[in-house]
Amino acid sequence: MEGEERRIDEKTQEKYAHLISILPKKKSWGRYLHMYHGFWYSSFVLNGIMSVQDNFKADPSDVLIASSPKSGTTWLKALVFALLNRNAVDQTSKQVMHSLNPHEYVPFLEVQLYAHSRLPDLDSLPPPRLLATHIPYSALPESTRGDPSCRIVYISLDIKDVFVSFWHFLNDGRHDSHEPFLLEEAFESYSDGVSPYGPIWDHQSEYWKASIERPQSVIFLKYEDMMEDPVNGVKRLAKFLGCPFSVEEEEGGVVDEIVKVCSFEYLKNLEVNKEGEIQFGKMKFMKWAFFHRGVVGDSKRYLTPEMIERLNMLSVRMTCSSGSSP
């Protein structure tokens, strides 16, 4: 069958289940995570990743937003969507941002589009297709890493802030009853690299290397730099995406308006992001949970000096392994 009626056959689903069952596993963040090619995943995420690897075919016009979880993904989705749709939307996408949550505009491949036995009909989407993923660079389908390939926009955040943001997100935003994750226990797993899509330092390092080797296809953005100078960050992003701002747009305040309507505080206060939930695979999260604080350096409020030093050492390890500093 074609399009949305196409399904993964039973033998393929059995193959995925068998592969997952024989992988090394550890319990972390309230569930078992499985080691697959150097990274840790829950079983339903890994099932989606395998389906993406087998079925997704990137188009050269695709734009893929990539990140590790809780690294500024929601903000980046809003920015990229506004940039690519600013001419069609006009008034700098203000009305569009009021309609849907950024994760509804830009779905994740492995936990939304390919999370079920029914395969998505991506061929029906007009170019450029705007998609997202937390999949490590080395595990992406070859069609996203070939030449020519789609553009990949990666955003990173200090691994200390990522941990605290992720801890808050899973404790506050999950739409199910569960015991709170204790900070100290979660920290031990995280700093050992045993966390969803972890180790995060390897995740960031892979995309950093790709951005150095293939700068025409991969851009590596730092959340901290984007927050410090969002106007120039957005202009750099627009140029990379092949839709630079015209002089008239800059003089007319289009860049400033996009920065404003996609800002953390603006999105957080929209009614569309205050109510409802979003399904990621087998889990549901409240929309408001994607807008906790968004503050650089928030980890200092929660981590001990010893915890900070431990993660700083892991950041040094990432720098050494990549040969340069992201």
Over residues 129-178, the pLDDT tens digits come to: 999 999 999 999 999 998 777 999 999 999 999 999 999 888 876 656 56
Q: List the one residue out of 168, 65, 60, 156 whose CA is nearest residue 112.
A: 65
Q: For residue 320, what pLDDT band results from cuts at 50, 70 and 90?
A: low
Three-class SS of residue 228? Answer: helix
Mean pLDDT of the chain: 87
**295 pLDDT tier (thresholds 50, 70, 90):** confident
- Higher confidence at residue 127 or residue 319? 127
Least confident among 60-74, 111-125, 207-221, 232-246: 111-125
Tokens at residue 20, please? Answer: 């997952």
pLDDT at residue 323, rounded to an integer: 53
Share of the chain above pLDDT 90, in %: 62
- Cβ-proximal residues to 76 (8 Å cutoff; 6+ apart), any chain: 65, 67, 153, 155, 221
Return the pLDDT at 234.
97
The helix or strand, by DSSP H or E, that contains position 32, with its residue range, turns out to be: strand 31-36
Mean pLDDT of 226-240: 96
CATH number of 46-322: 3.40.50.300
Catalytic residues, which ones? 134
Query: H or E segment at 305?
Result: helix 305-322
Name the pTM for this structure: 0.91
